[in-house]
Amino acid sequence: MARWTSLLAFVLLYILCIPEGFADLASIEDPYVDIEQTVAPNGIRFIYAPAPSSKTFSIKIRVRAGTLAETRETAGVAHFLEHYLFTDSRLKNNSSYLELIKEQGGTGNGATSVLETIYYAKVPTGKAEWVGKMFGKMLFNRTFEQERVNQTRKPVLLEIGEPGILAYLWRTGFLKFIYPDFLRVPDFWRSEFGLEPIRTSNLVAEQSNTLSISAQDLKTFYDDYYHPGNITVYFAGKFDIESMKSIANKWFASAPASKGKTVVQTATAIRNAPFLRTTSTSGTPHISVGTKFWDTTLEDFIVIDVYVEYLAHRLMKEFRNRKGETYTARGIVTNVKNFGQAVVTLETPAAQYSENLRYIRNMIYEEAETGGLTEEQFNEAMKLYSIHYNLTDRDSATAMRLAENAERNNQVFGRTGSEFLVFRSLTFKDFTARLKKIFNPGHRFSVLLRPPLVWRYELAVILLIFIITALSYAKAKLTVPFEHNKVRLVRKLACPPLHIIEIFSLSLGAVLSQYLSFGIRYSFFKSNFIQSSVMLSDYLYILIQMAFFIVSCIIVLKMTVRKLIVCGDYLYIKSITYFAKRIPLAEIKSIELIYPWQVLFSIRYLRGLGFGQRFSYYDPLFLKPGLYMRFKDGSSGFFSVKDATVAFEEFKQYVQKEEVNLKIAA
């Protein structure tokens, strides 16, 4: 009896010594205990997550084929195929699988993302086996009919929007010329992990291609990516597991194995340095800070998720509940394939921006980066996170989340056991050690949307002052003065309306400035020193961008000749802007009246033409003659002067007659 009394006392003492959070953890049932993962001989993965108390059943099919699998020419085909598979000529009365699911009291849909396309449904438990068969029928043994493709096209366009002028410009390749891929500054994933852009197309490309996607396009994509090795099927909620396994084997595992394509994102070039982006906003300032990570284990991932959620929870209490200085604080962990980012993000008033940023960074520094998290905080964080496992509803949606987590842990970390058991086994010492390793100061992540320095619209005012100053300086430097009382002849060039020339020139200047400023843009985004100051990263960068734009526009406008003016003893070639080139009349060697095609197809005439104002002929039909001037320095110029024949007679009086040639093609 004494032995049992001592044993009971020891057990009671042990329980009393367990921190409150762990006392709760000890009472939580493992929610992963009934989850089962299998792989069929053809390569399809099945995840069974039974929830006997659920009133519904959920099924989800995940196909590793998203927009990343598309090329420039096939943009939109993944999303189009998602819509098409819900239709089927084998169904009666022009029904779709979505209507059939709805008629059985359920809901369903699909979604296409970067890496995958999913098809899902939720039905009453009595329809679990029925919907399992329906999804198997929907996914396999499909035919692709052009008539049904044309019917599907209209709903797809209604969802993504009818293509506009940008879609047609993209289709011709014009947008690609204006803003080619190499001019794009690498985003976080490209910069830090060497990933390809998360999608090779955009909405404009998808809208354009959707107009012409054919049955063969869908079949090719389906054959390439909808093979069993790319497919995972989840069953969650209340169902008979043996019956569902039988359905899985008959409707899914029976599909023939095939080798197709698979898109996998892997980190190819890890950048071991902090990531920082800073810009200003006249709207609501925003803070996103945290860490980037790679080569993590499941234990590391759980530690990251626990701490980030705990950090966001305390910031909500501090900034919203106590100070009223944010709408919400969110902890976000993005894990692509054992690498990613963990951040806490929140809005903050402009006046408290710097103070709140320091507060958050100090918390992360003291608790995570230096390993200063206290045991009390650890217990509180674990207790808070345990709600993810202490399930009270046990419905099919919760079971589906657990099923997806289980498969993620298997695919990313190679772990098939219970995530909850890993979570529960974490000790304070292990937790803080992992936290310190992950939140390395050299791996910091910061994306800061800062408020203006003084006034909300100060950047607009600075930009306006800069533009006025730059244009005034350009005018003073480029304007060539001449005495108006000595003007002897003015001849305008035959060209499109002035506003069309200006629009075209400004557009071309904008494109040119993109090319010229690429190096500056790239170096600015790569430098953490520049990104640490909004004055450098945003204000200076925008001013440099504007300077490139102004210079580019002046260069383009400078080459656009508007008038030929004879003033005194000089010929002025006046551009549409301030610039004018002054040439002594004595330097004109000869003037000829010829057609533009004669210039373009003659080495003799082309030899003297160079870059700039040399070829200023604007008649698109090339039907009218122009003035071809030779200068004594060996250069030449060809101008589409109005009434060229009359102008020729007027200009030749300023050149020695023996040096004038009149040539008019028959």
Are the CB atoms for 396 and 238 separated by under 8 Å?
Answer: yes
Is residue 218 scored above 50 in pLDDT? Answer: yes
Q: Please name which of 524, 378, 528, 513 lies closest in space to residue 442, comparing C-alpha atoms.
A: 528
Strand order in the sheet with 107-112: 36-39, 45-50, 231-237, 56-63, 117-124, 107-112
Cβ within 8 Å of residue 338, ≥6 positions away: 294, 295, 296, 412, 413
List, in sequence order, every beta strand (DSSP E) within 206-362: 231-237, 275-280, 286-294, 329-335, 339-347
Give the pair of three-digit tokens for residue 3.
């032995």
What are phi and psi for residue 290, nearest 5 degrees?
170, -130
609 versus 436: the higher-pLDDT residue is: 436
List, in sequence order, every beta strand (DSSP E) within 561-623: 561-567, 570-575, 580-584, 588-594, 615-616
Cβ within 8 Å of residue 646, ≥6 positions away: none
The Cα–Cα gap between 218 and 195 comes to 27
Is residue 634 scored above 90 in pLDDT? Answer: no
The Cα–Cα gap between 501 and 560 comes to 8
Judged by DSSP in three states, 28 sits in coil
- H/E stretch holding 450: strand 444-450
Are the CB atoms for 253 and 44 separated by under 8 Å?
Answer: yes
Is residue 372 scored above 50 in pLDDT? Answer: yes
Is residue 10 scored above 80 in pLDDT? Answer: no
Is residue 652 scored above 60 in pLDDT? Answer: yes
List, in sequence order, every beta strand (DSSP E) within 18-164: 36-39, 45-50, 56-63, 107-112, 117-124
Q: What percent of the chain has pLDDT over 90?
A: 46
Listed range (49-58, 183-192, 197-206) with the worst mean pLDDT: 197-206
What average pLDDT is seen over the chain? 86
Judged by DSSP in three states, 363 sits in helix
Q: Determine the Cα angle at 281 with ends 280 and 285, to 5°.
A: 95
Cβ within 8 Å of residue 534, ≥6 positions away: 278, 279, 280, 448, 450, 453
Give the pair of three-digit tokens for residue 219.
């079949």
Q: Tokens 């090719």 label which residue? A: 220
Is residue 659 scored above 80 in pLDDT? Answer: no
Q: Taking residues 56-62, what's their average pLDDT?
A: 97
The Cα–Cα gap between 214 and 139 comes to 19
The Cα–Cα gap between 288 and 448 comes to 6
Is residue 192 scored above 60 in pLDDT? Answer: yes
Q: Taking residues 351-356, what's their average pLDDT?
A: 92
R_g of the chain, CA atoms, integer Å = 35
Question: Which domains are delineated in the chain?
Answer: 36-251 (3.30.830.10), 275-450 (3.30.830.10), 457-666 (no CATH)
Q: Taking residues 420-426, what's their average pLDDT?
A: 94
Residues 396-408 as b or e (16 or more Cβ within 10 Å = b)? bebbbebbbbbbe
> How much is the pTM?
0.79
pLDDT of residue 611: 58
Cβ within 8 Å of residue 1, ≥6 positions away: none
